[in-house]
Chains A and B, each alone.
Chain A
Amino acid sequence: MTDSLGAREALPLASGAVPANAAAAATSGPPALAISRLCVAYKRGLFGPVNRVVHELSLSVRPGEVVGFLGPNGAGKSSTIKAIMGFLTPESGDVRVFGHEAGTTQARAKIGYLPEVALYYPFLTPLETLRLYGRLQGMGGAALEQEAMDLLKRVGLEGREKQQLKTFSKGMQQRLGIAQALLGSPDLLVLDEVTSGVDPIGRRRLRELLQEVKQAGTTIFFSSHELNEVAQLCDRVILIRGGHVVDERLMDDSLRAGVTSALEDYFIRTIQQEGEGK
């Protein structure tokens, strides 16, 4: 099928279809991430209006799979991710990480997380920051030092280990954010707007780094407005709007074609159709 813009329309996700690397990594264990009928609502004050931002959202991510979580601003992506991390209590529904209830220390021990806008203690150095997160993760000693140095090198912050973060640009802070997310080799990476504020060179470096992580079999679940990143990294995309899933597709060559245009067209078309349908 070819749409009006010339991009081939991707096939919807067939039931039971599994991306190649996910199939290789998947075992008989529980899904890396399983969300069932999640509802998230914010209430203003005790008697204030209730604003439901996530409605009956269900999705599943297999171990080893790389899933892009897409949607327009206000679609409920960050609220869903906060529910995965246990930063908020859902109104209803169930969120599980490798079978553990979201928000529990067992679930969080499996996750490496990059917040949408990550800020770190401005008067600490990158090395001190990674030491702090490493100790909270249960790491320590020479192994922590070695991994922290390796990660700083991998995200391009070598030589800046002893510079206070107050002097870092937003992009450099984001790279440190990736490093702290990767600390302890988590089984699931949850990245909220992964390349936000990163310059093109840093973006390419991050993409290469995430490709390495993907090759190592780590499950990645990430939201992004940068469809180029999504097209190059993902096995599957899930589109949400108005707090619920409107479509999901395996990333095949047709969606990757033209670097961004095919996926971008698919994204805009699906979101607009969903909007018109309401």
Chain B
Amino acid sequence: METLKRKSVVYLALAHATLLESMRRKDLYVAGILAVLMIGTAATVGSFGVKGIELFLKDVALTVINLLSVVLAVLFAARQIPEEVSHRTVYPLLARPISRGDLLFGKYLGALALSVIGLLIFAAVGAGALAYYGLTLGGIFWQFLLLRVLALAVVVAMTMALSLVMTPGATVTLALLLTIGSATFSGAVKLLVPGSSPAQQILLKGAYYVLPQLNLFDLTKKVSYGWQPVAGWAMGTLTVYALLFVALFLALGALRFRRQAL
């Protein structure tokens, strides 16, 4: 119990410092600028009238929220540990009685908090712009947001793990490909598996299960079409699925970070 309390203090201290540093560095200004662009686009489209294109507008707004929050999360996460090492701020941190895994997890919480703040800014602007034109998103929008937070939790963990084995540029590229290309990949696997050889099927199915299927966390269409909220068991299953991938990526990252000479 005492260890858990001590660990919590360490994680919160690291997450708080990460958040404070990024806020003061005005990292979230990027989110603000992108949000203003969203408002500008909505105003331009709205000036022609929204009658008949309600579905399209909702779809676009939600997709933009998805995309921008993911891009922001990847950019935040990709630089956390590499910058600590290249800026040498890692030395006084790791001189303390904490493990490298503790540092990774604390930084992870900080990067996730930043990403969630970014998501909430985009969501507020998107929902606000739609409301301005009299378009409501219904109760399922809250589930949409919750699943986006879970998706970001996986994306941030995956990006931080990748950042420990490749350059920041490569990390951002691969993380965005895996995240944004998730739906395309799942669709391709379903199409390709029936006509493939047994060996190819093992490879394709293996890749399908090893990589996180982030499209499962996307309720864009359901929100746009005004579906009823998703069943609790489905939300629970997705939460467990996300937490498993977060744990897997952070464990792999910690394993790699532990062996890294500083």
Task: Identify the A interface with B (CB < 8 A).
Answer: 42, 82, 85-89, 105-106, 108-109, 111-113, 115, 117-124, 128, 131-133, 135-138, 140, 164, 177, 180
Contact = CB atoms under 8 A, between A and B. Distances in A.
A89 B21 contact: no
B98 to A, nearest CB: 5
A115 B93 CA distance: 11
A86 B100 CA distance: 11
Contact of B262 (A82, A113, A124, A137): A82
Given A85-B91, A105-B99, A133-B96, 13 more contacts: A109-B97, A112-B95, A113-B91, A113-B95, A115-B88, A118-B91, A119-B89, A124-B21, A132-B17, A135-B13, A136-B13, A137-B97, A138-B9
Contact of A124 (B9, B10, B20, B261): B20
Contact of B24 (A87, A115, A133, A164): A164
Given A123-B25, A124-B21, A85 B261 contact: no
Contacts of A85: 91, 94-95
Contact of B94 (A87, A109, A112, A128): A87
A88 B96 contact: no
Instruction: Select the residue from A120, A128, A136, A140 with max chain B CB neighbours within 10 A.
Output: A136
14 contacts: A85-B91, A86-B94, A89-B261, A106-B97, A108-B95, A108-B96, A115-B88, A117-B88, A119-B89, A123-B20, A128-B20, A135-B9, A136-B14, A180-B92
A121 B88 CA distance: 10
B259 interface: yes
B51 interface: no
Interface string B231-262: 00000000000000000000000000001011
Given A121-B17, A123-B20, A140-B9, A42 B261 contact: yes
Contact of A88 (B13, B21, B98, B262): B262
A81 B100 CA distance: 18
B92 A108 contact: no
Given A88-B261, A132-B13, A138-B6, A115 B96 contact: no
Interface in B1-33: 6, 9-10, 12-14, 16-17, 20-21, 24-25
B95 A121 contact: no
A129 B87 CA distance: 15
A187 B43 CA distance: 64
A42 B92 CA distance: 22
A188 to B, nearest CB: 11
B96 A124 contact: no
A137 B96 contact: yes
Contacts of A115: 88, 91-92, 95
A255 B13 CA distance: 46
Nearest to A184: B96
Contacts of A140: 9
A113 B91 CA distance: 9
Contact of B17 (A42, A124, A177): A124
Interface in B56-97: 87-89, 91-97
A135 B10 contact: yes
A131 B13 CA distance: 8
Contact of B97 (A108, A117, A119): A108
Nearest to A120: B89
Contacts of A117: 88
Contacts of A136: 10, 13-14, 93, 96-98
Contacts of B262: 82, 87-88
B47 to A, nearest CB: 40
Contacts of A106: 97
A123 to B, nearest CB: 4
A133 B88 contact: no
7 shortest interchain CB distances as A-B pairs: A113-B95, A123-B24, A135-B13, A136-B96, A109-B97, A105-B97, A115-B91
Given A109-B97, A136-B96, A87 B91 contact: yes
Given A136-B93, A136-B98, A119 B20 contact: no
